[in-house]
Amino acid sequence: MNLGRLPHRQHFKMSPQSIGHMSISKLSIKRDISRDAVLILLIYCPDTAMTRAESAVFVERGIHGEGHMPETPPAQVFDDVPLSEWFAKWATGLWNDGYTAGCGVNPLVYCPLQEHTRGEGTVFFLRLSHGTEYVSPDPIGIFVDVNLDSWGAKWIEAAYQAGLIPACETSPELKFCPSNPLDRAMAAYMMVQAKGLSVP
C-alpha cells in the first residue's frame, strides 16, 4: 500500500519509558486512508550510537529549527566529505555556523562515519546553549578518567556543571567516559537541556 506523504501536522501519542536518567518516547502516527486507519510506528533507536554525520543533522536542526534544510554547498570544505554525499550540506552547515572544527587538520577532515563520542558532544551542545563564542573555563579535575591536559577536559566539565550531560559512573569515583559513543537517547537529552525545552 502506498501511504503517500504524511500530513504536515502529525499527532503523536507519547508513552514515556524510563531509560536511566531520561524518558524516551515511542511515537505513533495515525492517518485515515479510505476509511481505514494505518498505524505507523516511528522507531528512534535510543541506544544506537550517532555518527558524526547524523549529529550534524541533529545539531543543525537544533540551531535553525526542525524544518531546516541547508543548501548544497558551492565548494567542498572537508577532504573526506565530497559534495556528492548526503551529509555534505549538513557537515558544511555545521562548519559555517561555527559549531565544528572537524576531527583533524592537514587536510581538514570531518570523519562523518565515525561514531560521535560523549566528549565531542559536549562541544556541540555547549555552543548550542551558550553560542559559538562561548569559552569554557579551565577544568579543575572533576572526573578521574578525564586528563586535565586533554583537549576536551574544559568542555566536559562545563557541560556537566551546566547539567547538559550526567556522569557515566558515580561510584566509587566520578567518571565521564569521554570516548564512549554518544547514543541517540543522550543526544536527545542534551538537546532538551541545551535548548531549555519542556518534555511532555
Assess whether 67 and 145 both reside in one domain: yes
Same domain flag for 34 and 116: no
Provide the pLDDT for residue 41.
Answer: 60
Residue 58: its pLDDT value, please? 93
Same domain, residue pair 74 and 7:
no
Residues 18 and 84 grouped into a single domain: no
Q: Could you give the angle at the alpha carbon of 68 between the alpha carbons of 133 and 86, nearest 5°?
A: 100
The answer to the question of residue 131 being in a domain is yes
C-alpha dihedral, 146 to 151 to 157 to 160, nearest 10°? -100
Do 33 and 60 lie in one domain? The reply is: no
Global confidence as pTM: 0.77
Residue 200, domain member (yes or no): no
pLDDT score at 44 = 84
Q: Which of 44, 62, 77 corresponds to the end of one domain?
A: 44
- Domain count for the chain, please give it: 2
List Cα–Cα distances, 71 to 11, 74, 90, 92, 94, in angstroms.
29, 9, 9, 10, 12
pLDDT at residue number 26:
36
Residue 39 lies in a domain: yes
Residuewise pLDDT in 10s, the chain (200 residues):
333 333 333 333 332 233 333 443 333 333 333 334 444 566 788 899 999 999 999 999 999 998 999 999 999 999 999 999 999 999 999 999 999 999 999 999 999 999 999 999 999 999 999 999 999 999 999 999 999 999 999 999 999 999 999 999 999 999 999 999 999 999 999 999 999 988 76
DSSP structural state of residue 183: B
Q: Based on the domain organization, do 89 and 187 belong to the same domain?
A: yes
Domain, as residue range, for 39: 1-44
Considering the domain architecture, whether residues 156 and 183 belong to the same structural domain is answered as yes
* Pair 14, 58 in one domain: no
